[in-house]
Structure formats: C-alpha cells, structure tokens
C-alpha cells in the first residue's frame, strides 16, 4: 500500500469517526450519517489498498 493512499484512508476514517461522534452528541442525525459514510469510505479505501498489496 502506498503511504499516500494509506494516509488518505486513515484520515478519512478518523475524520468520519470524529464527525459521527460529535454529531451524535449534538443530536444532528443527518450529519452523523454523513460522518458514518466518510468513515466507511475510508475503511473501504484501506481494504482496497490492502487487497492490492496482497496480489503484488
């Protein structure tokens, strides 16, 4: 996994988690859903890169 892509995936995942938890605390469910989607996108990117490394 390239370091750039790995960092991008981790940043998306971390940012999504922060947004989701903050939004839940404030009672903003729409924003919490967006944070969860961002977190999921980061997780998917991480798994994609990990799979590419497996076949190299």
Q: Is residue 26 predicted with pLDDT exceeding 70?
A: yes
Q: Can you give the pLDDT at residue 44? A: 93
pTM for this model (two decimals): 0.81
Q: Can you give the pLDDT at residue 2? A: 79
Q: Can you give the pLDDT at residue 1? A: 55
Average pLDDT rounded to a whole number, residues 14-22 = 96
Q: Is residue 33 predicted with pLDDT exceeding 60?
A: yes
Average pLDDT of the chain is 91
Q: Is residue 51 predicted with pLDDT exceeding 90?
A: no
Long-range pairs of 34-43 with CB within 8 A, sequence gap ≥ 24: 38/12, 39/12, 39/13, 39/15, 40/16, 41/12, 41/16, 42/9, 42/10, 42/11, 42/12, 42/13, 42/14, 42/15, 42/16, 43/9, 43/13
């Amino acid at each position: 996994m390239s370091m750039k892509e790995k960092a991008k995936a981790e940043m998306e995942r971390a940012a999504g988690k922060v947004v989701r938890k903050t939004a839940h605390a404030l009672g903003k469910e729409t924003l919490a859903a967006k944070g969860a989607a961002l977190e999921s996108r980061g997780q998917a990117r991480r798994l994609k890169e990990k799979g590419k490394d497996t076949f190299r």
